[in-house]
Amino acid sequence: MRRFLILVLMLVWPSVAAAQTVVVRADRMVDVLSGRVVDAPVVVITDGRISWVGVQGDTLPTLPDDAEHIDLAGHTLLPGLIDMHVHLDANANYAGYRQLEFTDQFWTVQAVTNARTMLDAGFTTIRSMGASGYSDVALRQAVDEGLIVGPRIVPAGYALGATGGHCDNNMLPPSYGATGGAVGDGPQALIRLVREQRRYGAEVIKICATGGVMSRNTQPGQQQLSEEEIRAVVDEAHRLGLRVAAHAHGTEGIRAAIAGGVDTVEHVSMIDDEGIRMARENGVWLTMDIFLTDWLLAEGERVGLLPENLDKERMVGQAQRDSFRRAVRGGARMIFGTDAGVYPHGMGGGQFAVMVQYGMTPMQAIQSATSNAAEALDRSDDVGAIAVGRYGDMVAVAGDPLAEIGLLANVAVVIKGGEIVRDRR
Ligand code: ARG
């Protein structure tokens, strides 16, 4: 019997001794799952995961003596934010041909700072929508190993696209032999590229279904992958358990992406009512980065953007905002994505106010960046809400974000896995 007890103690003791318990209290909490605000919340986090949620006055579970208490009086607690469209290795300050001043690994090195900046701005999870050299996979690994501090990262690896398309490299003459990292034409070539991204660590597949704003010699309205090519990518990715995100600005390309079976459509600038209907009926999520146009038009020339890119942004920026209003009104499922990297990584929280200006309720805007985003990632089990079982990822703002959505541009406290990573109180 005694030997048995010692054995049990030996098995149980290390986990008991190592358990890290954190108790967070605040004035209010946004419960994104019920769409309601809870007064005087108490959240218990055990070893990085939420183990109990209640309100002050409830009988708390038994806490160890060394439990850490975080008192966020005067603040509202929200789930850690999720940005579904980020380029960690891009740097908004070096656009156009200025990018050629730097060696290849420069982009990964500076991405370490970008990852930290995103986390500090409240984004505890981000979906990378394309990176060179698998730098997004590298960052994910470095964060997970505890070597650098950053958000949870869902990497795409290279964005797949057609020869000469938005996701090719169209900046140099033929003698330089420069091409994008995942260029393919026809179903077979694209299927191979899906497999290659997965082999090297991609957890989501990004494709470029139309031309774009920031590329050279492409048009946002131009469809660049056939529906057959898109479907081939989607079928292969889904067989492998990966979701597909399609960059698509133009009306036809958006429709082809949805008809081809993608899970999320990115940018969505020129969606028509038929596209909105198709998105709603197929449960496709729309990611509309409607904040960045202000920064791009103000700073684009200074950072070296080509005149062609600025012209295209002038065509797309307001059209995208109008499309956003129609998509919200039309009942499409929306997720929050900023295209951080095209503009500075810390600014994304400013998009919430624009989303409300263009027709969302503050609660809808917050859900787009939390519970909806988690669902679109197929990660409702571990991110996107303050709920038992999920990671202890939270942000706190000084006041009521439902009355003042602009507060999310400037979060006061960021908690990742129960640990304060940023405190501006
Ligand atoms: N990465 C996108 C592209 O180059 C950025 C679009 C930016 N414009 C906008 N209004 N969202 O096409």
CATH of the domain at 402: 2.30.40.10
Contacts of 234 (CB under 8 A, 6+ apart): 244, 260, 261, 262
Residues 246 and 313 in one domain: yes
CATH number of the domain that 270 lies in?
3.20.20.140
Q: Whose C-alpha lies nearest to ligand 1, atom 1? A: 214
Residue 321 placed within a domain: yes
CB 213 less than 6 A from any atom of ligand 1: yes
CB 398 less than 6 A from any atom of ligand 1: no
Residues 55 and 201 in one domain: no
CB 320 less than 6 A from any atom of ligand 1: yes
Q: Is the pLDDT of residue 282 over 80?
A: yes
Residue 382 placed within a domain: no
**How far is ligand 1, taken at its centre, from the CA of residue 30, in Å?**
31
DSSP string, 331-353: T-EEE----BTTB-GGGGGGHHH
Residue 149 placed within a domain: yes
> Cα separation of 365 and 353, whole Å?
8
Residue 2 placed within a domain: no
Instruction: Report pLDDT digits (tens) over 341-371.
Output: 999 999 999 999 999 999 999 999 999 999 9
Percent of the chain with pLDDT over 70: 96
**How far is ligand 1, taken at its centre, from the CA of residue 217, in Å?**
14
CB 312 less than 6 A from any atom of ligand 1: no
CB 212 less than 6 A from any atom of ligand 1: yes
**How far is ligand 1, taken at its centre, from the CA of residue 337, in Å?**
11
Burial category of 332 from C-beta neighbours within 10 Å (exposed 0-12, middle 13-18, buried 19 and up): buried
Residues 202 and 318 in one domain: yes
Residue 3 placed within a domain: no
**How far is ligand 1, taken at its centre, from the CA of residue 322, in Å?**
15
Residues 24 and 114 in one domain: no
Instruction: Report pLDDT digits (tens) over 288-313.
Output: 999 999 999 999 999 999 999 999 99
Residues 85 and 36 in one domain: no
pTM above threshold 0.85: yes
Q: What is the pLDDT of residue 19?
A: 83
Residues 223 and 275 in one domain: yes
> Cα separation of 122 and 82, whole Å?
8
Q: What 8-state DSSP symbol labels residue 161?
A: B
Q: What is the pLDDT of residue 357?
A: 98
In our burial notation (b when 16+ CB lie closer than 10 A, e otherwise), range 258-288 reads bebbbbbbbbbbbbeeebbebbbeeebbbbb
Residues 205 and 152 in one domain: yes
CB 340 less than 6 A from any atom of ligand 1: no
Measured from the Cα of 267, ligand 1's closest atom is: 11
- What's the token pair of residue 379? 């990660």
> Cα separation of 241 and 288, whole Å?
24
CB 209 less than 6 A from any atom of ligand 1: no
Measured from the Cα of 309, ligand 1's closest atom is: 4
Q: Is the pLDDT of residue 5 over 80?
A: no
Residue 383 placed within a domain: no
The CB density around residue 11, as the number of other CB atoms within 10 Å, is 9
Domain limits at 35?
Answer: 16-80+389-423
CB 292 less than 6 A from any atom of ligand 1: yes
- Give the total number of structural domains in the chain: 2
Of the residues 170, 266, 316, which should be mutated to test ligand 1's pocket, given the most ligand atoms within 8 Å of the CB? Answer: 316
Residues 145 and 293 in one domain: yes
Q: Whose C-alpha lies nearest to ligand 1, atom 10? A: 317
Q: 212 or 8: which carries more pLDDT confidence?
A: 212
Mean pLDDT, to the nearest integer, of 55-81? 97
CB 22 less than 6 A from any atom of ligand 1: no
Residue 195 placed within a domain: yes
CB 43 less than 6 A from any atom of ligand 1: no
CB 323 less than 6 A from any atom of ligand 1: no
Residue 301 placed within a domain: yes
> Cα separation of 125 and 122, whole Å?
9
CB 330 less than 6 A from any atom of ligand 1: no
Residues 129 and 30 in one domain: no
Decide if 359 contacts 328 (C-beta within 8 A).
Answer: yes
Count how many residues are written for the chain.
425
Residues 361 and 413 in one domain: no
Residues 172 and 192 in one domain: yes
Q: Provide the H-helix boundaries in 209-303.
A: 227-239, 251-259, 273-282, 292-299
Mean pLDDT, to the nearest integer, of 137-154? 98
Instruction: Report pLDDT digits (tens) over 374-421.
Output: 999 999 999 999 999 999 999 999 999 999 999 999 999 999 999 999
Measured from the Cα of 249, ligand 1's closest atom is: 12
CB 317 less than 6 A from any atom of ligand 1: yes
Residues 115 and 258 in one domain: yes
